[in-house]
Amino acid sequence: MAWQPGQIIDADGLNNPTPTTLTTGVTAATGWQVALQTLDIVSGVRIANVTLNRTGADITNPGGTSGNITPDIELCTLADDWRPPDDLYVACSTGIGSGSMRVQHDGSCQWLTWIPGANVTSGSNMRWTWTFTRRGA
């Protein structure tokens, strides 16, 4: 793999150019079940994909009239390999509704916003992805 502009060259990238994929490390909160979890690690860059299936009761209009979810709702926790060095704010979606998620450096994934008036029904799949590098890797 050739160096690309903006790519960080570090020991992890030089010593491990072969892609690695982890398929464990996400623990769903009550009312959710992990449907997909992949963490691809290539030359020090980590690309995480999570899909949680809503197994609990329908969540009626979690964003209210403003879109803000108060308090934030923890949907899952992440093992160390999945954790970014700083909190990240990313989009999430069921394919019908959309909102935002905070992926925290302590491993908590919290649901922050949701389109006003939209429900999340039992059986819905909540999806989000994020990309990061580890400091000092």
Q: Please give the structure tokens belonging to residue 12.
A: 């992890």
Helix (H/G/I), strand (E/B), else coil: 77: strand
What's the first-to-final CA gap in the chain, in angstroms? 19
Q: When comparing pLDDT for 1 and 45, which is higher?
A: 45
Domain architecture of the chain: domains with CATH: 11-133 (2.60.40.1830)
Return all residues near 104 (Cβ < 8 A) that are at least 6 apart: 83, 87, 110
3-state SS string over 30-72? Answer: CCEEEEEEEEEEECCEEEEEEEEEECCCCECCCCCCCCEEEEE
| Tens digits of residue pLDDT in 71-115 | 999 999 999 999 999 999 999 999 999 999 999 999 999 999 999
Q: What is the pLDDT of residue 42?
A: 87
Average pLDDT over residues 65-69: 96
